Amino acid sequence: MRTILFNSPLRSRKYIKNVKKLLDSNKSLHGPGKNIFNIKKNLKSKFGFDHVHLTTSCTASMEICALLLNLKKNDEVLIPSYGYNTSASSFVRTGCKIKYCDIEKTKLMPSFEQIKKKINKKTKVIVVFHMQGLAVDYLDQLQKYCKTQKIYLIEDAAQALGSYHKKKPLGSYGDFACFSFHETKNFHSGMGGLLVINNKKFKRKSDLVFDKGTDRTLVVSNPNYFKKYYSWVEIGSCFRMPELNASYLSFQINDIEKLIKYRSLLYKRYIKNFSNWLKDEFNICNKPTYKYNYHQLTIILKKREREKFLKFLKKNKIIAFIGLEALHLSKMGKKFLPKNTKLKNTDDIIKKIVRLPIHNNLKLKEVDIICDKIKEYFKVY
Ligand SMILES: Cc1ncc(COP(=O)(O)O)c(C=O)c1O
Protein backbone atom coordinates (compact mmCIF):
# COMPACT_ATOMS: atom_id res chain seq x y z
CA MET A 1 0.00 0.00 0.00
CA ARG A 2 1.31 3.47 -0.87
CA THR A 3 1.61 5.98 1.96
CA ILE A 4 -1.54 8.06 2.21
CA LEU A 5 -0.39 11.66 2.31
CA PHE A 6 -1.94 14.36 4.43
CA ASN A 7 -1.81 16.73 1.52
CA SER A 8 -0.72 16.43 -2.06
CA PRO A 9 -0.83 19.59 -4.19
CA LEU A 10 -3.38 19.64 -6.98
CA ARG A 11 -1.80 18.56 -10.29
CA SER A 12 -3.18 18.10 -13.73
CA ARG A 13 -1.84 17.90 -17.29
CA LYS A 14 -4.17 20.71 -18.24
CA TYR A 15 -2.59 23.10 -15.72
CA ILE A 16 0.96 22.07 -16.63
CA LYS A 17 0.20 22.50 -20.33
CA ASN A 18 -0.92 26.05 -19.72
CA VAL A 19 2.37 26.89 -17.97
CA LYS A 20 4.27 25.39 -20.88
CA LYS A 21 2.21 27.44 -23.32
CA LEU A 22 3.26 30.64 -21.57
CA LEU A 23 6.92 29.58 -21.41
CA ASP A 24 6.90 28.70 -25.10
CA SER A 25 5.23 31.97 -26.13
CA ASN A 26 7.68 34.83 -25.68
CA LYS A 27 5.21 36.62 -23.45
CA SER A 28 6.06 38.31 -20.14
CA LEU A 29 6.42 35.97 -17.16
CA HIS A 30 6.03 38.98 -14.90
CA GLY A 31 2.66 40.09 -16.26
CA PRO A 32 -0.08 41.01 -15.80
CA GLY A 33 -1.07 38.94 -18.82
CA LYS A 34 -3.86 36.71 -20.07
CA ASN A 35 -3.82 34.39 -17.05
CA ILE A 36 -4.01 37.13 -14.41
CA PHE A 37 -6.88 38.74 -16.37
CA ASN A 38 -8.69 35.41 -16.72
CA ILE A 39 -8.47 34.74 -12.97
CA LYS A 40 -9.75 38.22 -12.13
CA LYS A 41 -12.62 37.91 -14.62
CA ASN A 42 -13.61 34.55 -13.17
CA LEU A 43 -13.44 35.72 -9.56
CA LYS A 44 -15.76 38.56 -10.49
CA SER A 45 -18.29 36.43 -12.33
CA LYS A 46 -18.26 33.53 -9.83
CA PHE A 47 -18.09 35.46 -6.54
CA GLY A 48 -18.70 39.10 -7.39
CA PHE A 49 -15.20 40.12 -6.23
CA ASP A 50 -14.77 43.42 -7.97
CA HIS A 51 -11.58 45.09 -6.80
CA VAL A 52 -8.89 42.46 -6.26
CA HIS A 53 -5.12 42.06 -6.26
CA LEU A 54 -3.46 38.76 -7.05
CA THR A 55 -0.57 38.63 -4.63
CA THR A 56 2.38 36.41 -3.71
CA SER A 57 0.58 34.96 -0.65
CA CYS A 58 -2.23 35.38 1.85
CA THR A 59 0.47 36.80 4.13
CA ALA A 60 1.26 39.47 1.52
CA SER A 61 -2.45 40.30 1.28
CA MET A 62 -2.65 40.74 5.07
CA GLU A 63 0.47 42.91 5.00
CA ILE A 64 -1.15 45.18 2.41
CA CYS A 65 -4.16 45.56 4.76
CA ALA A 66 -1.85 46.52 7.63
CA LEU A 67 -0.11 49.14 5.45
CA LEU A 68 -3.42 50.52 4.20
CA LEU A 69 -4.86 51.00 7.67
CA ASN A 70 -1.89 52.93 9.00
CA LEU A 71 -2.64 52.10 12.65
CA LYS A 72 -1.09 53.95 15.60
CA LYS A 73 0.91 52.60 18.54
CA ASN A 74 -2.03 52.13 20.89
CA ASP A 75 -4.55 50.89 18.32
CA GLU A 76 -5.61 47.28 18.86
CA VAL A 77 -6.21 44.47 16.39
CA LEU A 78 -8.29 41.59 17.72
CA ILE A 79 -7.32 38.17 16.39
CA PRO A 80 -8.32 34.63 17.35
CA SER A 81 -5.80 32.81 19.57
CA TYR A 82 -6.22 29.81 17.28
CA GLY A 83 -5.19 31.46 14.03
CA TYR A 84 -2.35 31.86 11.59
CA ASN A 85 0.75 33.71 12.74
CA THR A 86 1.06 36.09 9.79
CA SER A 87 -2.39 37.54 10.56
CA ALA A 88 -0.73 38.70 13.78
CA SER A 89 2.77 39.55 12.54
CA SER A 90 1.50 41.69 9.64
CA PHE A 91 0.11 44.13 12.23
CA VAL A 92 2.83 43.73 14.86
CA ARG A 93 5.45 44.90 12.37
CA THR A 94 3.55 48.16 11.76
CA GLY A 95 3.86 48.95 15.47
CA CYS A 96 0.26 48.59 16.72
CA LYS A 97 -0.99 46.16 19.38
CA ILE A 98 -2.56 42.75 18.88
CA LYS A 99 -5.01 41.19 21.31
CA TYR A 100 -6.05 37.53 21.36
CA CYS A 101 -9.58 36.27 21.59
CA ASP A 102 -10.32 32.79 22.95
CA ILE A 103 -12.33 30.28 20.87
CA GLU A 104 -15.32 28.02 21.29
CA LYS A 105 -14.16 24.46 21.90
CA THR A 106 -16.37 22.78 19.36
CA LYS A 107 -15.94 25.22 16.49
CA LEU A 108 -12.33 26.36 17.02
CA MET A 109 -13.42 29.95 16.36
CA PRO A 110 -14.48 32.71 18.80
CA SER A 111 -18.15 33.17 19.66
CA PHE A 112 -19.75 36.59 19.14
CA GLU A 113 -19.85 37.05 22.93
CA GLN A 114 -16.13 36.29 23.26
CA ILE A 115 -15.37 38.92 20.62
CA LYS A 116 -17.61 41.58 22.16
CA LYS A 117 -16.02 41.10 25.57
CA LYS A 118 -12.57 41.92 24.17
CA ILE A 119 -13.54 45.09 22.36
CA ASN A 120 -12.81 48.55 23.72
CA LYS A 121 -12.26 52.06 22.38
CA LYS A 122 -8.81 51.16 21.09
CA THR A 123 -10.06 48.29 18.92
CA LYS A 124 -9.62 49.34 15.30
CA VAL A 125 -9.61 45.98 13.51
CA ILE A 126 -11.10 42.51 13.96
CA VAL A 127 -9.55 39.64 12.02
CA VAL A 128 -12.04 36.83 11.62
CA PHE A 129 -10.54 33.50 10.61
CA HIS A 130 -12.63 31.14 8.47
CA MET A 131 -11.30 28.05 10.16
CA GLN A 132 -11.21 25.05 7.78
CA GLY A 133 -12.88 27.19 5.13
CA LEU A 134 -16.01 27.67 7.25
CA ALA A 135 -17.27 30.95 8.65
CA VAL A 136 -18.61 31.75 12.13
CA ASP A 137 -22.40 31.49 12.07
CA TYR A 138 -22.80 35.19 13.01
CA LEU A 139 -20.65 36.63 10.20
CA ASP A 140 -23.38 38.90 8.83
CA GLN A 141 -24.14 40.24 12.33
CA LEU A 142 -20.43 40.79 12.95
CA GLN A 143 -20.20 42.79 9.73
CA LYS A 144 -23.06 45.06 10.89
CA TYR A 145 -21.60 45.34 14.38
CA CYS A 146 -18.19 46.40 13.04
CA LYS A 147 -19.83 49.07 10.88
CA THR A 148 -21.71 50.58 13.83
CA GLN A 149 -18.59 50.46 16.05
CA LYS A 150 -16.35 51.87 13.26
CA ILE A 151 -14.09 48.84 13.41
CA TYR A 152 -12.53 47.42 10.26
CA LEU A 153 -13.32 43.76 9.59
CA ILE A 154 -10.72 41.60 7.82
CA GLU A 155 -11.49 38.06 6.72
CA ASP A 156 -8.57 35.64 6.97
CA ALA A 157 -10.09 33.55 4.21
CA ALA A 158 -6.85 31.70 3.39
CA GLN A 159 -8.69 28.38 3.34
CA ALA A 160 -12.10 29.60 2.25
CA LEU A 161 -12.35 30.21 -1.52
CA GLY A 162 -15.62 28.70 -2.71
CA SER A 163 -17.35 28.69 0.71
CA TYR A 164 -20.39 30.75 1.65
CA HIS A 165 -22.13 32.32 4.63
CA LYS A 166 -25.85 32.36 3.91
CA LYS A 167 -26.12 33.37 0.23
CA LYS A 168 -22.91 35.39 -0.03
CA PRO A 169 -19.41 34.02 -0.69
CA LEU A 170 -16.80 34.30 2.03
CA GLY A 171 -14.58 37.20 1.10
CA SER A 172 -17.51 39.54 0.57
CA TYR A 173 -18.19 40.39 4.24
CA GLY A 174 -15.04 42.15 5.42
CA ASP A 175 -13.65 45.54 4.46
CA PHE A 176 -10.86 43.29 3.17
CA ALA A 177 -10.50 39.56 2.60
CA CYS A 178 -7.23 37.65 2.27
CA PHE A 179 -7.04 34.29 0.49
CA SER A 180 -4.18 31.85 -0.05
CA PHE A 181 -3.15 29.97 -3.18
CA HIS A 182 -0.41 28.11 -1.29
CA GLU A 183 -0.02 24.52 -2.49
CA THR A 184 -1.76 23.22 0.66
CA LYS A 185 -4.98 24.95 -0.41
CA ASN A 186 -7.80 23.71 -2.65
CA PHE A 187 -6.54 25.82 -5.57
CA HIS A 188 -2.92 26.85 -5.85
CA SER A 189 -0.08 28.46 -7.73
CA GLY A 190 2.65 26.90 -5.58
CA MET A 191 2.62 30.10 -3.59
CA GLY A 192 0.10 32.83 -4.17
CA GLY A 193 -2.64 34.92 -2.68
CA LEU A 194 -5.61 37.16 -3.29
CA LEU A 195 -6.72 40.38 -1.66
CA VAL A 196 -10.32 41.48 -2.05
CA ILE A 197 -10.95 45.16 -1.30
CA ASN A 198 -14.61 45.69 -0.43
CA ASN A 199 -14.23 49.07 1.28
CA LYS A 200 -14.24 51.57 -1.58
CA LYS A 201 -12.21 54.06 0.43
CA PHE A 202 -9.09 51.91 0.06
CA LYS A 203 -9.29 50.92 -3.61
CA ARG A 204 -7.02 53.60 -5.00
CA LYS A 205 -4.44 53.43 -2.20
CA SER A 206 -4.33 49.64 -2.47
CA ASP A 207 -3.33 49.94 -6.15
CA LEU A 208 -0.28 51.94 -5.08
CA VAL A 209 0.75 49.88 -2.04
CA PHE A 210 0.42 46.69 -4.12
CA ASP A 211 2.73 48.02 -6.83
CA LYS A 212 5.86 48.76 -4.72
CA GLY A 213 4.30 52.00 -3.50
CA THR A 214 4.35 53.42 -7.04
CA ASP A 215 1.71 54.64 -9.48
CA ARG A 216 3.11 52.41 -12.22
CA THR A 217 -0.19 50.62 -12.96
CA LEU A 218 -1.97 53.95 -13.43
CA VAL A 219 0.74 55.29 -15.71
CA VAL A 220 0.80 52.12 -17.82
CA SER A 221 -2.93 51.39 -18.03
CA ASN A 222 -4.58 54.81 -18.01
CA PRO A 223 -3.70 57.04 -21.00
CA ASN A 224 -5.47 59.98 -19.34
CA TYR A 225 -3.38 59.80 -16.17
CA PHE A 226 -1.66 63.12 -15.52
CA LYS A 227 1.86 61.63 -15.27
CA LYS A 228 3.98 60.08 -17.99
CA TYR A 229 6.46 58.29 -15.71
CA TYR A 230 5.77 56.41 -12.54
CA SER A 231 7.35 57.24 -9.19
CA TRP A 232 7.30 56.45 -5.47
CA VAL A 233 4.03 57.74 -3.95
CA GLU A 234 3.18 55.43 -0.97
CA ILE A 235 4.80 52.93 1.38
CA GLY A 236 4.37 49.64 -0.42
CA SER A 237 6.22 46.56 -1.47
CA CYS A 238 6.51 43.94 -4.19
CA PHE A 239 3.26 42.01 -3.66
CA ARG A 240 2.39 41.00 -7.22
CA MET A 241 1.70 37.39 -8.26
CA PRO A 242 3.83 36.72 -11.37
CA GLU A 243 2.05 35.75 -14.57
CA LEU A 244 4.07 32.52 -14.48
CA ASN A 245 2.41 31.40 -11.22
CA ALA A 246 -0.96 32.58 -12.51
CA SER A 247 -0.58 30.31 -15.54
CA TYR A 248 -0.72 27.27 -13.22
CA LEU A 249 -3.70 28.65 -11.29
CA SER A 250 -5.78 30.02 -14.10
CA PHE A 251 -7.65 26.86 -15.23
CA GLN A 252 -8.16 25.75 -11.63
CA ILE A 253 -10.30 28.86 -11.11
CA ASN A 254 -12.35 27.79 -14.16
CA ASP A 255 -12.68 24.34 -12.54
CA ILE A 256 -13.57 25.45 -8.97
CA GLU A 257 -16.98 23.75 -8.83
CA LYS A 258 -15.69 20.47 -10.26
CA LEU A 259 -12.71 20.38 -7.88
CA ILE A 260 -14.90 21.11 -4.85
CA LYS A 261 -17.40 18.44 -5.93
CA TYR A 262 -14.71 15.77 -5.67
CA ARG A 263 -13.61 16.98 -2.22
CA SER A 264 -17.23 16.85 -1.08
CA LEU A 265 -17.38 13.15 -2.04
CA LEU A 266 -14.30 12.45 0.12
CA TYR A 267 -15.71 14.40 3.06
CA LYS A 268 -19.08 12.66 2.82
CA ARG A 269 -17.39 9.26 2.64
CA TYR A 270 -15.58 9.99 5.93
CA ILE A 271 -18.84 11.10 7.56
CA LYS A 272 -20.69 8.01 6.31
CA ASN A 273 -17.96 5.68 7.55
CA PHE A 274 -17.84 7.34 10.97
CA SER A 275 -21.57 7.77 11.38
CA ASN A 276 -22.29 4.82 13.67
CA TRP A 277 -19.61 5.18 16.30
CA LEU A 278 -18.31 8.70 15.99
CA LYS A 279 -19.54 10.38 19.18
CA ASP A 280 -17.70 8.24 21.70
CA GLU A 281 -14.13 8.81 20.54
CA PHE A 282 -13.96 12.20 18.84
CA ASN A 283 -16.00 14.99 17.32
CA ILE A 284 -15.94 16.36 13.82
CA CYS A 285 -15.87 20.10 14.10
CA ASN A 286 -16.75 21.28 10.62
CA LYS A 287 -20.35 20.56 9.78
CA PRO A 288 -21.28 22.90 6.94
CA THR A 289 -24.58 24.81 7.06
CA TYR A 290 -24.05 26.67 3.79
CA LYS A 291 -22.25 25.97 0.52
CA TYR A 292 -18.79 24.69 1.53
CA ASN A 293 -15.42 24.14 -0.20
CA TYR A 294 -14.56 21.02 1.87
CA HIS A 295 -11.06 22.28 2.57
CA GLN A 296 -10.45 20.21 5.70
CA LEU A 297 -11.67 17.44 7.88
CA THR A 298 -10.65 18.19 11.44
CA ILE A 299 -11.47 16.00 14.40
CA ILE A 300 -11.21 16.77 18.10
CA LEU A 301 -10.18 13.78 20.17
CA LYS A 302 -11.96 13.30 23.49
CA LYS A 303 -8.70 12.54 25.28
CA ARG A 304 -5.26 14.17 25.04
CA GLU A 305 -3.79 11.31 23.03
CA ARG A 306 -2.92 13.05 19.81
CA GLU A 307 0.72 11.97 19.56
CA LYS A 308 -0.18 8.32 20.15
CA PHE A 309 -2.99 8.54 17.59
CA LEU A 310 -0.77 10.18 14.93
CA LYS A 311 1.98 7.64 15.57
CA PHE A 312 -0.44 4.75 15.09
CA LEU A 313 -1.66 6.19 11.79
CA LYS A 314 1.91 6.79 10.62
CA LYS A 315 2.85 3.22 11.42
CA ASN A 316 -0.01 2.26 9.13
CA LYS A 317 1.21 4.55 6.34
CA ILE A 318 -1.32 7.30 6.93
CA ILE A 319 -0.07 10.81 7.49
CA ALA A 320 -2.38 13.05 9.52
CA PHE A 321 -1.49 16.45 10.90
CA ILE A 322 -1.96 18.60 14.01
CA GLY A 323 -3.49 21.71 12.45
CA LEU A 324 -2.23 25.08 13.70
CA GLU A 325 -0.32 25.87 16.89
CA ALA A 326 -2.06 28.38 19.16
CA LEU A 327 -0.56 31.83 18.64
CA HIS A 328 -0.31 32.79 22.33
CA LEU A 329 1.63 29.60 23.10
CA SER A 330 4.28 30.18 20.43
CA LYS A 331 7.70 31.67 21.25
CA MET A 332 6.91 34.97 19.54
CA GLY A 333 3.17 35.05 20.11
CA LYS A 334 3.36 34.70 23.90
CA LYS A 335 5.00 38.14 24.07
CA PHE A 336 1.62 39.66 23.23
CA LEU A 337 -0.40 37.87 25.91
CA PRO A 338 -0.81 40.11 28.95
CA LYS A 339 0.22 38.57 32.29
CA ASN A 340 -2.45 36.56 34.12
CA THR A 341 -4.55 36.23 30.96
CA LYS A 342 -5.90 32.78 30.25
CA LEU A 343 -7.36 31.53 27.01
CA LYS A 344 -8.93 28.51 28.59
CA ASN A 345 -10.65 26.88 25.67
CA THR A 346 -7.68 27.14 23.33
CA ASP A 347 -5.31 25.87 26.04
CA ASP A 348 -7.56 22.91 26.72
CA ILE A 349 -8.23 21.83 23.20
CA ILE A 350 -4.99 22.50 21.40
CA LYS A 351 -3.48 19.06 21.97
CA LYS A 352 -6.60 17.23 20.80
CA ILE A 353 -6.93 18.60 17.27
CA VAL A 354 -6.11 16.35 14.31
CA ARG A 355 -6.52 17.05 10.59
CA LEU A 356 -7.21 14.00 8.44
CA PRO A 357 -6.08 13.72 4.80
CA ILE A 358 -8.37 15.39 2.30
CA HIS A 359 -7.14 16.48 -1.12
CA ASN A 360 -7.94 16.02 -4.79
CA ASN A 361 -5.37 13.24 -5.27
CA LEU A 362 -6.91 11.11 -2.50
CA LYS A 363 -9.04 8.12 -3.57
CA LEU A 364 -12.37 7.19 -2.02
CA LYS A 365 -11.04 3.74 -1.21
CA GLU A 366 -8.16 5.37 0.67
CA VAL A 367 -10.70 7.19 2.84
CA ASP A 368 -12.16 3.74 3.66
CA ILE A 369 -8.69 2.51 4.64
CA ILE A 370 -8.13 5.54 6.90
CA CYS A 371 -11.50 5.05 8.59
CA ASP A 372 -10.85 1.32 9.13
CA LYS A 373 -7.52 2.09 10.76
CA ILE A 374 -9.09 4.73 13.01
CA LYS A 375 -11.70 2.16 14.01
CA GLU A 376 -8.93 -0.27 14.78
CA TYR A 377 -7.14 2.34 16.91
CA PHE A 378 -10.25 2.93 19.01
CA LYS A 379 -10.98 -0.80 19.10
CA VAL A 380 -14.45 -0.33 17.66
CA TYR A 381 -15.66 -3.61 16.14
C1 LIG B 1 -5.62 30.60 8.04
C2 LIG B 1 -4.39 30.92 7.29
N3 LIG B 1 -4.02 32.21 7.17
C4 LIG B 1 -2.92 32.54 6.47
C5 LIG B 1 -2.14 31.59 5.87
C6 LIG B 1 -0.92 32.02 5.11
O7 LIG B 1 -1.05 31.75 3.76
P8 LIG B 1 0.16 32.00 2.75
O9 LIG B 1 1.07 30.83 2.89
O10 LIG B 1 -0.48 32.08 1.41
O11 LIG B 1 0.80 33.27 3.15
C12 LIG B 1 -2.49 30.24 5.96
C13 LIG B 1 -1.63 29.21 5.33
O14 LIG B 1 -1.69 28.05 5.58
C15 LIG B 1 -3.64 29.90 6.69
O16 LIG B 1 -4.03 28.61 6.81
Cα of 80 from ligand 1 centre, angstroms: 14
Work out the angle at residue 300's Cα, subtended by the Cα atoms of residues 134 and 136, and round it to the nearest 5 degrees.
Answer: 25
- Ligand 1 atom, smallest distance to 191 CA: 10
What pLDDT is attached to residue 52? 98
Same domain, 48 and 60: yes
User: In the predicted model, is pLDDT for residue 302 greater than 70?
Assistant: yes
- Ligand 1 atom, smallest distance to 324 CA: 16
Same domain, 101 and 233: yes
Contact 190, 183 (CB under 8 A): yes
Domain boundary pick from 221, 238, 254: 254
Whether 342 is covered by a domain: the verdict is yes
Read off the pLDDT of each residue in 338-358 and give the average, rounded to a whole number: 94
- Ligand 1 atom, smallest distance to 192 CA: 10
What pLDDT is attached to residue 380? 74
- Ligand 1 atom, smallest distance to 182 CA: 10
Whether 6 is covered by a domain: the verdict is no
Q: When comparing pLDDT for 184 and 223, which is higher?
A: 184
Same domain, 239 and 265: no
What pLDDT is attached to residue 280? 75
**Nearest-angstrom CA–CA distance, 374 and 380:** 9
Pocket test for ligand 1, best of 130, 182, 321 (most atoms within 8 A of CB): 182
Q: When comparing pLDDT for 325 and 138, which is higher?
A: 138
Whether 135 is covered by a domain: the verdict is yes
Pocket test for ligand 1, best of 7, 85, 180, 194 (most atoms within 8 A of CB): 180
Whether 5 is covered by a domain: the verdict is no
What pLDDT is attached to residue 285? 79
Site residues for ligand 1, CB cut-off 6 Å: 57-59, 84, 86-87, 129, 156, 158-159, 180, 182, 184, 193
Same domain, 233 and 260: no
* Sheet with 297-301, edge to edge strand ranges: 282-284, 297-301, 353-356
Same domain, 57 and 109: yes
Read off the pLDDT of each residue in 67-73 and give the average, rounded to a whole number: 97
Cα of 144 from ligand 1 centre, angstroms: 26
Pocket test for ligand 1, best of 54, 59, 128 (most atoms within 8 A of CB): 59
Same domain, 232 and 305: no
What pLDDT is attached to residue 237? 98
Same domain, 283 and 242: no
Read off the pLDDT of each residue in 229-256 and give the average, rounded to a whole number: 98
User: In the predicted model, is pLDDT for residue 79 greater than 80?
Assistant: yes
Cα of 84 from ligand 1 centre, angstroms: 6
Q: Which domain holds residue 308?
A: 256-377
Domain boundary pick from 222, 254, 286: 254
User: In the predicted model, is pLDDT for residue 279 greater than 80?
Assistant: no
Domain boundary pick from 187, 222, 254: 254
Cα of 256 from ligand 1 centre, angstroms: 19
Same domain, 191 and 73: yes
**182-185, long-range: CB within 8 Å, 24+ apart, which pairs?**
182/57, 182/58, 182/158, 183/9, 183/10, 184/7, 184/9, 185/158, 185/159, 185/161, 185/295
Phi-psi region at 281: left, alpha or beta (left = phi > 0; alpha = psi -120 to 50):
alpha
Q: What is the CATH number of the domain that holds 260?
A: 3.90.1150.10
Whether 133 is covered by a domain: the verdict is yes
Same domain, 202 and 55: yes
Read off the pLDDT of each residue in 17-21 and give the average, rounded to a whole number: 98
User: In the predicted model, is pLDDT for residue 276 greater than 90?
Assistant: no
Same domain, 273 and 215: no
Q: How many CB atoms lie within 10 A of CB 301?
A: 18
Per-residue model confidence as pLDDT tens digits over 122-138: 999 999 999 999 999 99
- Ligand 1 atom, smallest distance to 59 CA: 11
Q: What is the CATH number of the domain that holds 68?
A: 3.40.640.10
The tally of domains found in the chain comes to 2
Residue 178, phi then psi, degrees to nearest 5: -115, 125
Same domain, 66 and 210: yes
| Strand 76-80 to 193-197 pairing | unpaired
Same domain, 180 and 280: no
| Strand 353-356 to 164-165 pairing | unpaired
Whether 222 is covered by a domain: the verdict is yes
Whether 4 is covered by a domain: the verdict is no
Whether 7 is covered by a domain: the verdict is no
